[in-house]
Every structure is written in C-alpha cells, then in structure tokens.
Chain A
Amino acid sequence: MTEPKVKSHLMPQTLWEKLYLAWFFFCFLAVYIGTWAVNKPIPVLGMPLVFVWCSSWGIVWLCGCWFLGTKIAREDAQIKGE
C-alpha cells in the first residue's frame, strides 16, 4: 500500500481555480505594464487617461475574479455535499 500523495496548495487544481489565477495575473499585468503605454495627459470623460485606465482595469479585475470565485465556491460546496 502506498502513502497518499501530499497535496500542495500552491497550485490551482480545478479549471475555475486556474482561470482565477490566470485572470488575476492578466489584469495585474494590464495595470502594471499597460499603464506605461497610456501614460499621456489625455482627458477621458474629463479624467486623466492613467486614472481611467487603472480604475477601469481595477473594476474589470474585481468583476472577473468575483465571478470566478463564485464558481469555485459553488464547485467546492458540491464536492463537500453542502
């Protein structure tokens, strides 16, 4: 009989967890790297482009992870039989 394999918690397991991680880093890079590409004194709806870019991606980042996190929670609840 073999010992059960020790589970690492560092890596995502399910598809939804992988998508959460991928979305998190995609948006992170959009704000970190992308901001330098739009670093110009241009007004968008009266607000500076850098501000609009960062805030908009922040909201997109939050909405995406909220959606995926909800999916992960539902899946976990199903597995645990809740």
Chain B
Amino acid sequence: MTVESWHYTVIIVIAYSMLILWLGTGRWTKMGNVRMDDYFKVAPGFGFVVLYLGIAGGFHTAFAIPGSMGFYHAHGVAFAANVLWTVFTPLGMIYFIGSRITCLGRKFNYITPADMLVDYFGDGKFRAFIALYTLSCCVPLMTANITGPARLLSGGTDGHIPYLGALSIMGVMVIIYVTSSGLRGVTWTTVAQAIWMFVAVWAAAFWCLNLIDGDLLALFNKIQEAEPALLTLPGPQGLATPQWWVTWPVFGIALYWAILPRGFMFFYSARDVATTQKIGLTVGFYLMALYIPAMVIGFTAYTYFPELSGSGADSSFPRLLAEYAPAWFAGIIVAGGLAAGMSSLDADTNANSAMLTKDVYASFINKTATDRHYITVGRGFVVFLVAITVWAATKDWGLVAIMIGVTASMITQLLPAVLAVTVPMQRVWFTKAGITAGIVAGLGASLLTRVYGPELLPSIIRFDPSFWGLVVNVPVALLVSRFTAQPDPAAVARIRAALDDEFRPDRSR
C-alpha cells in the first residue's frame, strides 16, 4: 500500500485526538466528590495559568481558524475591528464584570447564569425563562463551531473523511470528555487547544510568507495591485461603514461574548477574584496575537484565489492548504482548526447541559434527587445537545449564519440584568418584570432592525442590531420596573454586601 498525502493529515489529527482525550479524561480531571458544583463548574477553582488558557481558548471559536482568514479575504483590513473586541472584552468585561461574577459565584456557590440572576430578582418561572432563552441562543453558536472545523478536516483529507464523518468525530470526542469530567475536562483540553491553535496560526502565517516568495511588503504590493480596497475601510464590499465600525465590535461582540453561559462557568471556576482580574488584564494579549497573523494568511489566500466570494471566502485558506501545503503541515493546521472549534463547542455543551439540568430539570421536573442523579441527567443532556448540534450542522449553513447574528442580539439583551446584579448603584433600578419586558422588547427591536434595517433605516443610523436592541431594552426595563414589585431587599442587601466587601473595602481603616 502506498502512503498518500492525506494519510499524513489523518495521522496528525489522530495524534491530536489522542492528546485531547487523554487530557480530557486523565486523573487530573477527576473530582473528589460527586457534586453538581464540582462537575458543571470546578468548586475548588482553577489557578491563573490553567484558567487563562481555558478562557483564551474558549473565547476563540472556529472563527479564528478558518473564519478570520475568510474575513480578510472578503473585507480586508476591516477585520481590524476585531482588535477592538479582543481588547475591549478582557479589559472592560472580564476585568470589571467577570471578576464580580467570580465574587458572587464563589460566595453563594452559583452554578448557572440563572442562579445569579434569580438570587437577586427572585426565583420561579423567571429561572426557566432565562435558561431556555439563553439556551436557544447557544445552539447556533455550537453549530458554527462544529461546521467550520468539520469542513476543514474533510477538505484536508481530500474528502476521504466525509463531512458527516468529520462532524461525528468531533461530536463523539466532545461527548467522551465532557461526560467524563465536566468543566475540568473542558478546561484541560482547552489548555492544549489554546496552545495548539496559537502555534498553528503563526506557523501558517510564516508558511504563507514563504509561499508568496517574499516578505510583508511584497504581499502588500500584490494586494494593492489586485484589490486596493482590501487595504482600507470600508473594504471592497463596503462592510465597515462608520456606523458598523462604531457599534459592531462593542455591541455585536464585546458586550455579549463575556456573558455567554460558558463565560459564567469559567468565572465561577476561578480560584478567587484576583485570578479573574489578572486574566482580564492579560488575556487580551493572547486574543489579539492570534488574530495578527490572520492578515498574512487571508491576503495570501486572496492572491491565489481572488475569484472566491461570499461564503466561498471562508474556504480560501482550506483550499490553499489542500493545494499547496505539505500534508504533514496541513495536518497540523487542520488539527488547529479542530482545536479552535472544539474549545468553544465543549464549553458551550457543558454550560448548556448545566442550565438544562439545574434550571429546568432540577427546578421544575425532579426537585429532590441526589447530585449523582443530576449529573447523570446532565450527561444525558450533553449527548442530546451534541446530537442536535451535529444534526443542525448538516442543514443549511446560511440559516446558521443568520442565527449566529441573532444569538449576539439575544445575549446582549441580558446585559442590563447582569449589570443590575453585579454593579450596585445607589438605588435599585430594575425588577424581574422590568428585566423580562426589556429582554422581550429589545429582542424584538434587534430582530426588526436585523431583518428590515437595511431597507428602513437611513444609512447614517444603520447601527448594529444588538445596539438597537439595547436602545429599546433599557427604557422599557426602567419603565416597567417603576410600576412592578422590587426584588427582595434582603437578597439585594446580601449581594451588595458581598460586592462591597470585595470591591469597595473600607478605605478609612
């Protein structure tokens, strides 16, 4: 039997898979006690290094490889908008809000995002509303994170691993280590994935420079000759208008990225507040550094395949690899793509399973079972969620892409609730009814502007739909809150005292 080039790709992907399964199921992932708070999150808490890489890998999705290269191919330096969120999210959201979520999570042993919100606003159907609302946002994200890498794997093996086979391989791997070890397995595998994808993307950039047989200036000149609009805003397709530039990085990504359920699970699993704050101050270096080489790769792919457009731009880098890279090198990059997608897919699966188990099953269906039973149910939800994700990934990709945009708008509408709990002010502004009304109104506004905005809104106010959602959400929430029952003063005082102790220590001492 002769060894074909795609065999090398398969061998490297198998090596990657073995490493991930070993890391995700090893003895270091085993919990001391069978408890929900030590399965869906990590009760003793992770220290800086592990959680840093866990968050870093978890925040970069399949968009990192190969999506970011496709973005450069299609919109050029408009991609620089991503620099804004890779810095804004850590320094603004993780440092300021994430550390407060850590504080409350450790103090009151929250497991899900809804735990924190209902502790402040009051329990009941509100818990199920938050859980199901959030869950419905996350399935499209999970689908996106399995679709891109599966295409990369299928393309990287010349179709010898079919697309459905690639989806199944990723799905089965995630099921094995998430059901085995919960968030411990997720985080340890993400540590390896974060390192692998970082090395892969930088190696790919140097390979691309070598491929064009020149340096950065040679690449710049080639792009200037072929499509100079790629070098300036708003890009060849006119995407990066001032309105888009000023709202998309913040409202379309930065504000919601940190309050995704997976973010909550990581923040709850920090050893202490200082750990989350340190991660907030430094993880931006990793997030940004992963996107810097994407320019070289995206532009190189453009010089080889300028004819690709639309969703075809996303396949420019996989095609470059398939046609020009040595097989072993393509294998490393393909595994890097799997790492980028799986590092978010597993974290989302664990978080969504936690919400279904704690906020729906344990709160409404079976309230008196043991933690061992709940963990077993949670494992069942992991299988169910991955199955749905794989199934959805076989459907129309255009619909998934639209849903990802809707996801951003939906999660962003939770921001007033999260801020109300984590950032005490001199009075209580929001009530449970107000928050609920605000979320519904904000979601409606963001959907309307997403669907009809391009036709109805004048170009000068054609801002990101998530921004318009908040513009409607906040006043509605404030108005309804004025006429509805306030949260329990004892709960508000308890949560405020915990935050005062940590973030407003007595300076007169």
Residues of A in contact with B (beta carbons under 8 Å apart): 6-10, 13-14, 24, 27-28, 31-32, 35-36, 39-41, 43, 45-48, 50-51, 53-55, 57-59, 61-62, 65-66, 69-70, 73, 76, 79-81
Contact = CB atoms under 8 A, between A and B. Distances in A.
B281 A36 contact: no
A36 B260 CA distance: 31
Contacts of B215: 46
Interface stretch (B80-88, B163-171, B302-310): B80-88
B79 to A, nearest CB: 8
Residue of B86, B91, B427 with most chain A CB atoms under a 10 A cut-off: B91
Given A7-B504, A41-B231, A59-B285, 13 more contacts: A7-B500, A8-B424, A9-B425, A13-B507, A14-B507, A28-B88, A40-B232, A46-B217, A48-B77, A55-B83, A58-B86, A62-B281, A73-B278
Contacts of A9: 423-425, 499, 503-504
Contact of B83 (A31, A46, A80): A31
Contacts of A24: 91-92
Nearest to A61: B87
A50 B506 CA distance: 45
The A interface, classified by DSSP as helix, strand, loop or mixed, is helix
A7 to B, nearest CB: 5
Nearest to B215: A46
Contacts of A73: 274, 277-278
A62 B277 CA distance: 13
B326 interface: no
B500 A62 contact: no
A69 B423 CA distance: 18
Contacts of A57: 83
Contacts of B86: 58
A41 B92 CA distance: 31
B284 A62 contact: yes
Contacts of B242: 36
Interface in B12-32: none
B246 interface: yes
Contacts of B232: 39-41, 48, 50
Interface of B: 76-77, 80, 83-84, 86-88, 90-92, 95, 215-221, 224, 228, 231-233, 242, 245-246, 274, 277-278, 280-282, 284-285, 288, 292, 295, 423-427, 496, 499-500, 503-507, 509
Given A7-B504, A32-B84, A65-B91, A39 B233 contact: yes
B288 A59 contact: yes
A32 B85 CA distance: 11
A48 B231 contact: yes
Contacts of A70: 281
Residue of A7, A13, A41, A58 with most chain B CB atoms under a 10 A cut-off: A58
A46 B95 contact: no
Contact of A43 (B220, B278, B282, B423): B220
Residue of A8, A24, A47, A69 with most chain B CB atoms under a 10 A cut-off: A47
B288 A50 contact: no
A35 to B, nearest CB: 7
Which 8 pairs, one residue from A and one from B, show the smallest C-beta to C-beta distance? Answer: A46-B216, A46-B217, A54-B80, A41-B231, A50-B77, A69-B281, A54-B83, A58-B83
A64 to B, nearest CB: 9
A48 B218 CA distance: 12
B186 to A, nearest CB: 26
Contacts of B281: 62, 65-66, 69-70
Nearest to A54: B80
A57 to B, nearest CB: 8
B288 A62 contact: yes
B507 A55 contact: no
19 contacts: A9-B425, A9-B503, A24-B92, A27-B87, A31-B84, A35-B233, A36-B245, A41-B232, A43-B221, A45-B216, A46-B220, A47-B220, A47-B295, A50-B77, A53-B80, A58-B284, A59-B288, A62-B87, A66-B281
